[in-house]
Amino acid sequence: MKTHDQFAEDLTLYALNELTGAELQEMEEHLQTCSACRRELHAMRADLALLGLSISGPQPPARSKERLMRAVAAEPRGVSAPEPSAAPRRNLWAVLIPTFAALALFLVALVLVRHNIGMRDEIAELGNRNQDQIAQLDRMNQELELLTSPDAVHVSLNPEKMPRQPSGTAIYSPSRKRMMFMASNLAPVPEGKAYELWIIPMAGAPIAAGVFKPDDHGNAMMMDHKMPEGVEAKAFAITVEKEEGSDKPTLPVVLVGAVS
């Protein structure tokens, strides 16, 4: 039967869950009857918890470290060989140091992985913004080139059989094969209807150039449309068609303008 001092020597290993077999059972039975050992066990476990927090938090109190060092110093330097069924005892620091080192490496690796993921997301977002800005700048350059092209032709569209209130202007460049259209004072269109712009070629049937609806003030704009290849415009016209557009213009013609 072990003495009280022998049980006290094994408290450190018990706190680290290093006792097994008969030694573990004897220690648990002793703790049920010994209040002094129970108090010492609670103090050791508190010290170990503070030591575990010391990797990323504040240093544990000096008295906790002193109590733990006293418990380690109390380990017998020369003891008889354990019974065959007892597990080999380990040094306290030999158990704690590898555990804390592995935990620290894991936390560092986790922080680095999250940082790298954040950097990749920021780079991807900047790349997308740069592409959008390049595309927007390219569209603006094309519109400016059309407006300032030496051969740009401005065609005014006027009402054919109604008061001269609505008006429209088509601008196109034969060399660049680009066009745009602007209108003002247009009447609202019925539900399911829209205005459609037509290119009247020198020969052949009118060519649909796009549908649009005016805003609340009757203004509308169609920017940077492509002219059909090989088509020479004689005039431009506006009609009211189905919302999705038509294959041929429907009378009456709302606006019409000839190329001068």
> If 0-12 CB within 10 Å is exposed, 13-18 middle and 19+ buried, where does residue 32 land?
exposed
pLDDT at 67: 61
Average pLDDT of the segment spanning 37-41? 85
- Quote the percentage of the chain above a pLDDT of 70: 79
Average pLDDT of the segment spanning 17-38? 86
72 phi/psi in degrees, rounded to 5: -65, -40
**Cα-based distances in Å from 65 to 147, 152, 239:** 82, 88, 92
**pLDDT tier for residue 91 given thresholds of 50, 70 and 90:** low
pLDDT at 242: 95
CB contact at 8 A, 7 and 38: no
CB contact at 8 A, 193 and 245: no
Q: What is the mean pLDDT of the chain?
A: 81
Q: What is the 3-state secondary structure (H, E, C) of 102-157?
A: HHHHHHHHHHHHHHHHHHHHHHHHHHHHHHHHHHHHHHHHHHHHHHHCCCCEEEEE
Model confidence at 56: pLDDT above 70: no
pLDDT at 162: 56
- CA angle centred on 209, ends 203 and 211, rounded to 5°: 140
97 phi/psi in degrees, rounded to 5: -60, -50
Model confidence at 181: pLDDT above 90: yes
pLDDT at 260: 80
Please tell us whether the domain made up of 153-258 is placed in CATH 2.60.40: yes
pLDDT at 66: 63
Annotated domain spans of the chain: 4-90, 153-258
Model confidence at 35: pLDDT above 70: yes
pLDDT at 90: 52
**pLDDT tier for residue 121 given thresholds of 50, 70 and 90:** confident
243-254 pLDDT tens trace: 999 999 999 999
Tokens 């380690």 sit at which residue? 72
pLDDT at 160: 64
pLDDT at 72: 57
- The Cα–Cα gap between 91 and 84 comes to 19
